[in-house]
Amino acid sequence: MSEPNEPVPGLKQKKVFKIIVLGDSGVGKTCLTYRFCEGQFLDKSEATIGVDFRERTVRIRNEDIKLQLWDTAGQERFRKSMVQHYYRNVHAVVIVYDVTKPETFHSIANWMQEVESHGLTGAPRVLVGNKCDCGTPESRLATTYAQRLADKHGMPLFETSALLDSECDNVESIFMTLAHKLYSKQPLRVLSVEGERGPRLVTLSRQKRNNSSNDSCLCS
């Protein structure tokens, strides 16, 4: 229906990449997608009932790409029959846990299983530890521990915070990484590597940047 390469006669339509965001209830899926799409922290987040949807257009190699983020309910009972439908035509997966709640990290195995049961094993996936502004370094789940699991599943790990403005680049890179990965996966595209590293590549539109020098992460 909206495969990214579908040619639309007479219309120069944007490519669309669909990304599904998974993870236990309360880990910050809604806040992360909101941060990426709206450029700010969602002050009064509410429980997600069913599936929510946000999108943002990003520019990759001078081409506008639409990223569709499907933000899902974390509660188990919504998943079986309901969310299933939304795995159809998904291109990439983000799995989120809360660095201050080990049990949300331990659920990752279940989420991986769910991803696999929907035939998405080969789709690009990233692991995100959220709320790194919270707690003390000792109370947060150790990065090395998370890294080991990420490596085991062959996915990159990001640790970030949807709350901190200083972290917005990092939230940005979660989704931009996936976008570039998906872009590069497109068949029949001549990819030149030279000159691909210039900043013009990642056009971070709508981003509100205010990186003052004292704007450092609370977690270090």
Q: How far is CA 210 from the centre of its chain?
A: 22
Tokens 């094993």 -> residue:
121
Q: Any idea what DSSP says for residue 25?
A: T
Residue 114 φ/ψ, nearest 5 degrees: -65, -45
Near other proteins by CB under 8 A: residue from 110, 113, 139, 205: 139
Near ligand GDP by CB under 6 A: residue from 82, 134, 202, 204: 134
Q: Segment 1-20, which members bind other proteins (CB under 8 A)?
A: 1-5, 16, 18
Q: Counting beta carbons within 10 angstroms of the beta carbon of residue 108, is it exposed (0 to 12), middle (13 to 18) or buried (19 or more)?
A: buried
For residue 55, the partner it binds in Mg ion, other proteins, ligand GDP, none, with Cβ less than 5 to 8 A by kind, is other proteins
3-class secondary structure, 126: strand
Least spacing, CB of residue 20 vs ligand GDP, in Å = 13
For residue 3, the partner it binds in ligand GDP, other proteins, Mg ion, none, with Cβ less than 5 to 8 A by kind, is other proteins
User: Using N-to-C axis directions, what is the helix angle for 168-185 and 29-38, rounded to 10°?
Assistant: 80
Q: Segment 147-166, which members bind ligand GDP (CB under 6 A)?
A: 161-163
Q: Please count the residues of this chain forming the interface with ligand GDP, following the rule CB under 6 A.
A: 18
Tokens 């790990």 -> residue:
157
Q: Which of 156, 149, 168 is closest to 127 using CA atoms?
A: 156
Q: Segment 173-212, which members bind other proteins (CB under 8 A)?
A: 173, 176-177, 180-187, 191, 193, 196-197, 199, 201-202, 211
Task: Indicate the residue among 7 and 43 with the shorter CB distance to other proteins.
Answer: 43
Q: Are 24 and 97 in contact (CB under 8 A)?
A: yes
Q: Is 48 in the site for Mg ion (CB under 5 A)?
A: yes
Which residue's CB comes closest to ligand GDP? 28
Q: Amino acid identity of 110?
A: N
3-class secondary structure, 79: helix
Q: x/- contact string, 89-108, with ligand GDP (CB under 6 A)?
A: --------------------
Q: Is 173 in the site for ligand GDP (CB under 6 A)?
A: no
C-alpha gyration radius of the chain: 17
By CB under 5 A, which span of 44-52, 135-143, 153-161, 199-207 interacts with Mg ion? 44-52
| Interface residue list for Mg ion (CB under 5 A) | 29-30, 48
